[in-house]
Amino acid sequence: MRNREVAAILVKIADMMQIKGDNPYKIRAYRKAAESIFHLDEDIAILYGKGRVREVPGIGDAVAAKIGEILKTGSCEYYDRLSEEIPAGLLDMLAIPGLGHKRVKLIYDTLGITTLDELMQACQRGEIRNLPGLGVRIEDNIKKGIIEVKQRSNKTRLGTALPLAQGFLNYLLQSPAVIEAAITGSIRRGKEMVGDIDILLTGNDPAAVYDLVRVFPAVRQIDWVDSDLIRGELSPGIEFEIIIVAPSDFFHSLVWTTGSKEHRERLFAGVDRQDFKDLKSETEVYTRLGMDYIAPELRENQGEIEAASVGRLPELIDFSDIRGDLHVHSNWSDGVEQIRDMAAAARSLGYKYIAITDHSKSLNISGGLSAERLQAQGKVIDALNKEATDGFRILKGIEVDILKNGELDFPDSVLEELDIVIASVHSNFKLDADEQTERIIAVAKNEHVDMIGHLTGRLLSRRSGYEIDIDKIIETCARYNTALEINAHPDRLDINGDIARQAKEHGVKVAINSDAHRINQLKLMKYGVITARRGWLEADDVLNTLSSDDLLKALGKAP
């Protein structure tokens, strides 16, 4: 059982306790334990086996015992007892914006509603608006929310799907029954949300491949078995397809299955794929079609075929081009680790610098820094930089809140002392497009603001971005030399590839930032790089491919 599944059960326990109205601190303890397990680098089962699960922060005797039960039986008695009391459908309702534990309980207690479908019917009959504290507006929002929740439930974030696919692939490649295999489809193209996991495989014995797939621990069920296809579901509820081809067909099939549909249909229009047998690489496929190799991230039929035909494809940025991370939190605000430890981790990734960019004072919940604490933090960073003998540099920064009126949370006199200023929206998501755009444009014009953080504010599969006029903002950024962030967290990937490409076309620089709040999130950078590649970006388009001296120069600061 994977860490995220144990964490998911603990979160459900917390949700059910909250619906019941249990002790808030007890609930928080379960959430904290779940969070710790979710972010754990080690396998919780192995840790438990070694008797070291109590070392995980937030896990005490009570939760440790439940984890033991869950690892053994897939559930625990406490969870089962709560489940009998609280219908599972109530937990689905919590995903609807505007519905929290109290309202879900109210709806359940008064109307006996236990599923999203029943809730929708009650909304349509106008029953929700009559409940105390609710009204027509909330009823409308619930209706919209139900539709959204249902729509997004069949897609998975790349950040979840890619590691699963990689684990599955590695497992398959270990077997002598598999000659060659590769992740294909939309995951390979680096789409931020994917429908399923596709693996292209070649081997001489389909029955042996089936046996292999059947016993992979994460396989929950198998729905279809053929000599050239195995389809089923992995245990977090994501579908997979293993497409089996003859060795001579591997590379043209890899191009075909990677897609996109529009890309491959144009690529192979009027040609017979049988003429593409026995090639040694995808490059040979493209060569035979009379064009340069096209990276998977570009295969969306958005001009890449034309560019490849005349040798004008961009030389896409690669992870090895990244020299530093410009958006990193520490335990001075809502990060988990100390600055020293974040820096050490960044060093071990081969980076030459990081910027510590904690939250500013308005973001109370995240422990936002006052001007005084920011200054104290700067002294700590100075001391750490003095210690460093390898030239690694910690830059002083801030993720400063953009206030409702378009002002910043700190005056210019504070910002001008810093190396990196990221301005981000964390409040007032529901302003209309004009106001929201003006608010961001106002800070993009500020000479001390180096970049706008997570521009649209979207949280994939949870919240759509705020209403903004992207064109106007990009124009402003171009004029005032303000960069845009690709926030590499798989929940955000914001800006996305399309906006990144638009930024590049207007000469707006991009920074690819992990937004790490703990050490192991530094490695999420790769999702940002994938997104940048989908935006046709080259190393020159990205600020954090520069050395720290050149970076500061580019931002108009003394190195």
Partner DNA sequence: GCCGTTTTCGGCCCGACTGTTTTCAGTCG
Two tokens at 175? 């077997």
- Name the residue nearer to DNA (CB basis): 137 or 214: 137
The sign one gets for the Cα dihedral 536, 540, 541, 543 is positive
| Least Å from the CB of residue 77 to DNA | 11
Q: Of 402, 356, 401, whose CA–CA distance to 379 is shortest? A: 356
The 8-class DSSP code of residue 402 comes to B
Binding status of residue 133 toward DNA by CB under 7 A? yes
Two tokens at 353? 């610098």
* Binder among 176, 275, 311, 364 for DNA (CB under 7 A): 364
* Binder among 112, 135, 217, 556 for DNA (CB under 7 A): 135
| Least Å from the CB of residue 75 to DNA | 16
The 8-class DSSP code of residue 130 comes to G
Q: Give the CA distances from residue 144 to residues 116, 132, 136, in Å, rounded to whole numbers and listed in that order.
A: 12, 20, 12
Binding status of residue 51 toward DNA by CB under 7 A? no
Binding status of residue 63 toward DNA by CB under 7 A? yes
- Name the residue nearer to DNA (CB basis): 149 or 242: 149
In angstroms, the first-to-last Cα distance of the chain is: 49
Two tokens at 318? 């690669």
- Name the residue nearer to DNA (CB basis): 197 or 403: 403
Q: Are 3 and 73 in contact (CB under 8 A)?
A: no
Q: Can you tell me which residue has the tokens 């997979």?
A: 240
- Name the residue nearer to DNA (CB basis): 96 or 468: 96
Q: Please list the residues that pair with 357 across neighbouring strands.
A: 397
| Least Å from the CB of residue 62 to DNA | 4
The 8-class DSSP code of residue 358 comes to E
Of 448-487, binders to DNA (CB under 7 A) are: 459, 463
Q: Can you tell me which residue has the tokens 């409308």?
A: 140
Binding status of residue 369 toward DNA by CB under 7 A? no
Q: Please list the residues that pair with 194 across neighbouring strands.
A: 156
| Least Å from the CB of residue 507 to DNA | 31
Interface with DNA: number of residues (CB under 7 A): 50
* Binder among 25, 41, 270, 275 for DNA (CB under 7 A): 25
Of 86-115, binders to DNA (CB under 7 A) are: 96-104, 106
- Name the residue nearer to DNA (CB basis): 280 or 430: 430
Binding status of residue 167 toward DNA by CB under 7 A? no
Q: Are 352 and 547 in contact (CB under 8 A)?
A: yes
Of 376-435, binders to DNA (CB under 7 A) are: 404, 426-430
* Binder among 365, 390, 413, 558 for DNA (CB under 7 A): 365
d(CA 555, CA 60): 47
Q: Which residues bind DNA (CB under 7 A)?
A: 23, 25-26, 28-30, 32-33, 54, 57-64, 96-104, 106, 129, 132-139, 141, 334, 364-367, 404, 426-430, 459, 463
